[in-house]
Chains A and B, each alone.
Chain A
Amino acid sequence: QKEVEQNSGPLSVPEGAIASLNCTYSDRGSQSFFWYRQYSGKSPELIMSIYSNGDKEDGRFTAQLNKASQYVSLLIRDSQPSDSATYLCALQRYYGNNRLAFGKGNQVVVIP
């Protein structure tokens, strides 16, 4: 099993709808989780970080973490065309280890 897995297929959502992205991970000891947004040809931009079970909201973004089930998700509410990008899930294995493990990324296309 890969350390971080994301659905590889593009996700098409109508403008105004909710985009839902999922990420699973294999190491139960993983501590910190991040979502990066990357526009085509640009660098990754940190949009959410989450460290404890539950939901964390920031504007139209909600990150959800369930350590027992080993998944982290990202919801984008009221999707806008500007949300069209690749979203990378990343995790930090344990405190003090500054390596990030990345998923392959999930492309989101918001259709006007």
Chain B
Amino acid sequence: DTEVTQTPKHLVMGMTNKKSLKCEQHMGHRAMYWYKQKAKKPPELMFVYSYEKLSINESVPSRFSPECPNSSLLNLHLHALQPEDSALYLCASSPFSGASYEQYFGPGTRLTVT
């Protein structure tokens, strides 16, 4: 089973709103990721959590705030977003053992900022 789930599937928010994206996996993976993907572009890494600790922040603006409550859950808190932040937000997970890290993506949250 290589399932990563994400909620909500779609989100429309105003620039003054606060919202959260949620991601869950039950594969025992110890690395979890947030990506942003714009149309016709490859995914762009935002954050990586390894063993529930933030290990990579790709200089993401502070209006995006990640959280990893436990090894199965990953949240992305959104506040004061801009219209250019509208995109598909993808969560992924990978095992953190062995020599390679195959990443499995969730279905994504389609975010529209108005």
Contacts and interface: CB of A to CB of B under 8 A. Distances in A.
Q: Report, as a range, how many residues of chain B touch the other chain.
A: 20 to 34
Nearest to B104: A46
Interface residues of A, number: 21
A100 B90 contact: no
B31 to A, nearest CB: 5
Contacts, number: 57
Interface stretch (A11-19, A65-73, A102-110): A102-110
Given A100-B45, A102-B42, A45 B105 contact: yes
Interface of B: 2, 31, 33, 40-43, 45, 48, 50, 55-56, 88, 90, 94, 96, 99-108
B42 A49 contact: no
Interface of A: 31-32, 34, 36, 42-46, 49, 51, 88, 92, 95, 98-100, 102-105
